[in-house]
Amino acid sequence: MSTWLALNIVNNNTNDARTMAPNSPPFAASLCQKCIFCSFHRFDMRLSKQVPLSKKQLRLSRELYCVLVFVVIVYIVALSHLYLTSSNDGSCGQNGKACFREFQLVPTTKAPADEDYVSRTVLLKEQFLLDAKLMNYSLYGLKELPVYPDHKKITQTYDIVPADLKLEEKLRVVYKKRLAACVIEKNMSTVLASIMCFLHDHEAFLKANRTITTEYFWTRFCKDKNEHNSIEDLLNATHTKLKDWTTFALVRDPLERLLSAFLDKCVMNREQFSDQNCYGCRDNIHCFVRTVYWRAKAFAKTQGRKPYNMEDVHTFPQNWHCSFKDRTNKMKIIKYYSEFTERKRTYARIVDVLKEAGIRPGLISEILDQLLGGSTYHTTIDSPEKKLVRMVVTKDQDLMDMIYSLYYHDYMMFGFSFV
């Protein structure tokens, strides 16, 4: 009776298993049936030599045993079916589609036409090394600190220079990743342009013995290769839409940017320029700030039709660049910090954007090594001259009021605190 009951259960469950897994091997059910039949036969023999159980206990024991065996059989058949299904699925990795497992482990988008197409193993290794570098450079998990500027702290002695004017829009592009950076003078612009040039064609860049932190504007490697003067020009040239691109820009504390421009053009590298290149102010910071303010007011009064020069590009409000008035919510804004410890937050955010755009981890690692290993030839960060000039400016309340009126919208739009 017990053997007949077991066979009945096994037959029924085997049919259920076939229904659940139609692609399972044809011999699986018959093999399992024979094994269970032998097991129950031996079970009957052992029971005959021991103290006899009640009919109810015997029935419950056999049913429990059969259920356990059936669960094991279904588990094995299900695993077999899953393996056969995943092995026969030919959609993974074809027609430009990334495998789910690979996408989970390596967030780099790959397609056969991509010049950076490499094996999954190489990408995994590069990702591992990049994570190690982020930890080593103390960049892992760094975020920008939120700032909520309080305009009530400032004295509005001078008229606020208006926003929503269009000055310049200099784009540096990585076409194959549809990544575009809008560079703003004195906001790590030379280095950012070099990063985009390196990503545009890293093999040619390195073969030419170029490095990211030693590029010069006038002798830049990617001149006219990946450059556009407006987003409209870029979209027309590539026959794409803005939503197809990842765009970002670096912004800086307005006071720090102004002081950096003054020191770079009028003090530290004055021998490279004529005196007229500093508005004729030479090394007079009071003259320099006042001239910038009144020139910006005149430019705004003519709605941007008044001619501007090199100093204006380096000192006029940042919100006039990059068409921020049209695309503030569509462009990723990264704060560029002057202090070295805080500057790591800038690098961490740049890494996030590059990852999102699908840049290879190995290229990001190379960028980090070069960024943290040197500085550009004209950098004024941490210089004693800058500390001295900053002290002179911040102690002059009238001059600070003029600076706040000049850059009021920069402070409010980009979230920088008033000193």
pLDDT, position 265 = 86
pLDDT at 118: 72
pTM of the model: 0.70
Structure tokens at 45: 């023999």
Residues with pLDDT less than 50, the chain: 1-10, 13-32, 34-37, 40, 43, 47, 86-113, 115
Amino acid 5: pLDDT: 44
Among 161, 399, 83, 88, CA closest to 262? 399
Structure tokens, 238: 């590539």
Kindly tell me the sign of the dihedral angle through the C-alpha atoms of 378, 380, 386, 389: positive
Pairing outcome for strands 246-252 and 227-228? unpaired
The pLDDT assigned to 117 comes to 62
According to the model, what pLDDT value does residue 70 have?
83
pLDDT digits 0-9 by tens, 173-226: 999 999 999 999 999 999 999 999 999 999 999 999 999 999 998 999 999 999
Residues in the chain: 419
Question: What does the domain layout of the chain look like in residue ranges?
Answer: 2-88, 137-414
Q: Helix 189-200 vs helix 361-371: angle between axes, to the nearest 10 degrees?
A: 150
DSSP string across 86-97: HHH---TT-TTP
Looking at residue 175, its pLDDT comes to 98
Q: Round to whole Å and give the CA distance between 275 and 132.
A: 48
